[in-house]
Amino acid sequence: MSRRTKSPSGVIDAPLDVAAQAKAREEGRPSVRDGRLKTYEPGANVGRFLELLGRRVSRPLAVSLTACVHCGRCAESCHYFLARPDDPTMTPVWKADQIRKIFKRHVDWTGRVAPWWAKAGTPDGDEDLNRLKNVVFGACSACRRCTFNCPMGVDTALLVRFTRGLLTELGIVPEGVFNVSRDQWETGNQMAVTETDFLETIEWMRDDLRAELGPGADIPVDRPDCDILYTINPREIKFDPRSIAHAARIFHAAGASWTLPKWGWDQTNFGLFSGDDALGAYVSRNLYEAAERLRARRIVISECGHGYRSTRWEGYTWSGYDQKLPTESIVAVLRRYLEEGRIVVDPGRNLEPVTFHDSCNIARSGDLVEEPRQVLRRVCADFREMHPNRQENFCCTGGGGLLAMAEYRPLRLEAGKVKAEQLKATEAALVCTMCHNCIDGLGDVIKHYHLPMRVVQVLELVSRALVLPAGS
């Protein structure tokens, strides 16, 4: 770790806060007790880090670690660097170099023979590992924009996630990462929603739905043999259950056969952010097994960027589970319903100018770029693009789990400058996104930069435009 360079933000020197870890140990929390969740022990961490590094590097990672030519072309693709153009520590290549130099020193040959020649090095101790933590957790939202702008195909975001995973094994993580991981390990969902909370919230939404649509309307839980197993983000239960009601209205209008599972309903996955593949595997397996248990014919994922990426793509790899069922986003389902005429919409009900924010995890690590646009053009009277867009869109600032890491908030919001400029230029009243993280990330940017707009989701706009059959 370069001691010469100190980020003016102070992020690099943010201390390691282990109070929550100590408390969890003291309380004998199950995830800590049985070793699923690692806590920090001062001592031989550098040795363990190097051992893990050597053992876990995969071939795509190894080539990303060796292929960089230090051309610096990735710099301007990063929203952190755009906010701080004079700070080299904000460039993707500098961030990746912090792990690259350790790899070179211990795994690669030139760095082993002549470390100074290749700027290779070993972390001096836990303090250096803590600095590394602050780089990979605090100054990168793992948005993958730099990856898409590297002529060599170096996947810096992948390196960042990998490094996070090594540090997670040592408990050298921001407190928020520890807390959320603990909750997801212990309750099966990121927000520690209990089964009672879950069922009561669903019941409340079901009552509202029936009041509007009649006794035939339902939000089924654990119903076997449905076409759709609908999986959601715990934020929907905790803070925004209307999104479940929107989905239910639309499923009702389309005559869909669907259910939520009582267990395995969380499609989000903090393992993606912490780099902990074991947590990733546990959470996604819960969900795939729920689909099997209920004999659902398709898994549908509510609007969530990292949840979609985790459940649709990475989860199968983490959990060693061969994909058996179609697994898709609710937005793809909405598009199909519109295309097939299964729902009728009136764009006149969404008259405000609407723009769309592409979630990084969906546009750059997934496949849904045109689908949300096709839906929005059908349900909004004034849809306008934000620039740049699609795979070139900028992060909402909340990617990579940063919303759970309060210590990096000032830098995150500063890095939101380019997003704020993008939003402002659209002159839209609503910014639509298909991601719950982005709702909060964009909400923060809007508040911080005093923008006159509000964040909505695709489901909300479709539900608003939905023309229900007479008699409903």
* Residues in region 150-209 near ligand HEM by CB under 6 A: 151-152
Minimum CB separation of residue 207 from another protein in Å reads 26
Three-state SS at 236? helix
* Residue 431 beta carbon to ligand SF4: minimum distance, rounded to whole angstroms: 20
CB of 69 to ligand HEM, least distance (A): 4
Does 321 bind another protein (CB under 8 A)? Our answer is: yes
Distance separating alpha carbons of residues 197 and 265, to the nearest angstrom: 13
Q: Which of ligand HEM, another protein, ligand SF4, none is residue 80 near (CB under 5 to 8 Å by kind)?
A: ligand SF4
Cis-peptide, bond into residue 15, ω within 30° of zero:
no
Residues 397 to 456 in contact with another protein, rule: CB under 8 A: none
Positions that interact with ligand SF4 (CB under 6 A): 68-74, 77-78, 80, 92-93, 95, 140-146, 150, 152, 154, 156-157, 160
Separation CA 4–CA 37 (nearest Å): 34
User: In the complex, which residue's CB is closest to ligand HEM?
Assistant: 71
Residue type, position 270, single letter = F
Question: Which does residue 388 bind out of ligand HEM, another protein, ligand SF4, none, counting CB within 5 to 8 angstroms by kind?
Answer: another protein
Q: Which among ligand HEM, ligand SF4, another protein, none contacts residue 320 (Cβ within 5 to 8 A by kind)?
A: another protein
Q: How far is the CB of 95 from another protein (least distance, A)?
A: 10
CB of 76 to another protein, least distance (A): 7
Instruction: Give counts: helices (H), strands (E), the chain.
Output: 24, 10
- Name which of 122 and 149 has its Cβ closer to ligand HEM: 149
CB proximity list for 26: less than 8 A, separation 6 or greater: none
Where in 41-60 is the site for another protein (CB under 8 A)? 57-60
Taking CB under 6 A as the rule, does residue 215 contact ligand HEM?
no
Binding flag, residue 67, ligand HEM (CB under 6 A): no
Query: Considering only CA atoms, which of 4, 237, 266, 11 is closest in space to residue 141?
Result: 11
Q: Does 291 bind another protein (CB under 8 A)?
A: no
Amino acid at 379: V
Q: Can you tell me the distance from the alpha carbon of 133 to that of 164, in angstroms, rounded to the nearest whole number?
A: 7
| Residue 180 and residue 270 in contact, taking contact as beta carbons nearer than 8 Å | yes
Indicate whether 365 belongs to the interface with another protein (CB under 8 A).
yes
Q: Three-state DSSP class for 377?
A: helix
Q: Under the criterion CB under 6 A, does residue 22 sit at the interface with ligand HEM?
A: no
Do residues 465 and 347 lie in contact, with contact meaning Cβ atoms separated by under 8 Å? yes
Longest dimension (CA), the chain: 79
Among 300, 338, 395, 418, binds another protein (CB under 8 A): 300
Tell whether residue 289 is a contact of another protein (CB under 8 A): no
- Please identify, using beta-carbon distances, which residue of 76 and 414 lies nearer to ligand HEM: 76
Of 162-170, 324-332, 427-435, 461-469, the segment contacting another protein by CB under 8 A is: 324-332
> Among all chains, which residue has been given the structure tokens 């023979």?
113
Q: Does 71 bind ligand HEM (CB under 6 A)?
A: yes
CB of 395 to ligand SF4, least distance (A): 6
Smallest gap from residue 214 Cβ to ligand SF4 (A)? 48
CB 28 within 8 A of CB 62: no
DSSP code of 468?
A: P
22, 62, 211, 351: residue in contact with another protein (rule CB under 8 A): 62
Buried-exposed string 244-269: b where 16+ CB fall within 10 A, e elsewhere? bbbbbbbbbbbebebbbbeebbbbbb
> What is the Cα–Cα distance from 90 to 80, expressed in whole angstroms?
6
Quick check: 103 binds another protein (CB under 8 A)? no
First to last CA, the chain: 64
> Shortest gap between Cβ of 293 and ligand SF4 (angstroms)?
37
Q: Which two tokens stand for residue 413?
A: 């919001």
Q: In angstroms, give the least distance from the CB of 92 to ligand HEM.
A: 14
Q: Is residue 250 within 8 Å of residue 334, measured between CB atoms? A: yes
Does 327 bind another protein (CB under 8 A)? Our answer is yes
**Residue 76 binds another protein (CB under 8 A):** yes
Q: Is residue 366 close enough to count as binding another protein by CB under 8 A?
A: yes
Residues 255-274 that bind another protein (CB under 8 A): 256-258
In this structure, what token pair is assigned to residue 353? 């100018």
* Shortest distance (Å) from residue 154 CB to ligand SF4: 4
| Rounded Cα gap, residues 448 and 452, in angstroms | 11
Choice between 20 and 82, CB closer to ligand SF4: 82
In what side-by-side order are the strands of the sheet with 258-259?
Answer: 258-259, 228-231, 298-301, 327-329
Binding mask 105-144 for another protein (x = CB under 8 A): ----xx-----xxxx-------------------------
The footprint of ligand HEM on residues 72-91 (CB under 6 A) is 73
CA 464 to chain CA mean position, Å:
26
Dist CA 43 CA 200 (whole Å): 46
